[in-house]
Structure 1
Amino acid sequence: MIAADRGAELALTVADQGIGIPETDLPSIFERFRRAANAGAVAGSGLGLHMVRQIVTMHRGAIEVASRPGEGTRVTVTLPAIAAARAD
C-alpha cells in the first residue's frame, strides 16, 4: 500500500530509444488517429497517446511528451496521489 500526503503527485516516466517524433508533429501527437510523419511502416493506429491523455485527464493528471528523431521518446504521466485508507 502506498500512502501520500494530500497534494502530492505521482509521476511515471516511460522512455525508449526508438525512431522519435519530429518536432513538427509534437503539437498534434495527442489527436485521434494521428501518427508521426516518420512512422512509416511501424504498426499502429494513432490512438495510443490520445487514449492515454483522455484517461490521465479524467484522473486530473497531466501528460508530457519529449522526443527527438533518432534518439527516442520520453512520456511522463503525473497524477495526484491519493492517500490510502487503512482498514483495521
Structure 2
Amino acid sequence: MRLWVEDNGIGIASENHNRIFGGFERLHAEETYLGTGIGLAILRRALERMRGQTNVESDLVTGSRFWLELPAPAEF
C-alpha cells in the first residue's frame, strides 16, 4: 500500500527528482526556501531500513506528489 502526499507548490524538475533525496541537497537558496535539505534524505534512509521505498512525481506546473511504501507485515 502506498501513502501519497501532494502539494501544489513550485514543483521539481525531473532531472532533480533523485537529488532531493540526497543529504543536505538543496535546489534553491536558503533565502528563497527554508530548510536544511536533509528531511527527505532521512525519510528515504528510514524507509530503506524498513525495506520500504519512497519517490516523487513532480513537474514545474502542477506541484509534487510524494509517495512512501512499506512492505506488508509478516504473519506470525
Mark yes or no: TM-score above 0.5: yes
| Alignment-derived partner of residue 50 in structure 1 | 41
Query: Is 1:73 matched up with 2:73?
Result: no
Q: Distance in 1 between matches of 2:18 and 2:46?
A: 19
Moved more, 28-37 or 59-68: 28-37
Q: Any gaps of 5 or more consecutive residues in structure 2?
A: none
| Alignment-derived partner of residue 27 in structure 1 | 18
Normalised to the residue count of structure 1, the TM-score between the two structures is 0.74
For residue 21 of structure 1, what is the amino acid of its counterpart?
I
The Cα of 1:70 is off from its aligned counterpart by 3.2
RMSD of aligned alpha carbons: 2.1
Query: How many matched pairs?
Result: 76
Alignment partner of 2:2: what SS?
Answer: strand
For residue 30 of structure 1, what is the amino acid of its counterpart?
F
Pick aligned residue for 1:11 from 2, 8, 19: 2
Percent identical residues: 34
Q: Distance in 2 between matches of 1:63 and 1:41?
A: 25
Query: Is 1:60 matched up with 2:51?
Result: yes
Q: Any gaps of 5 or more consecutive residues in structure 1?
A: 1-9
Judged with a 3 Å threshold, the aligned counterparts in structure 2 of structure 1 residues 33 and 52 are, in CA distance, closer, same or farther, namely same
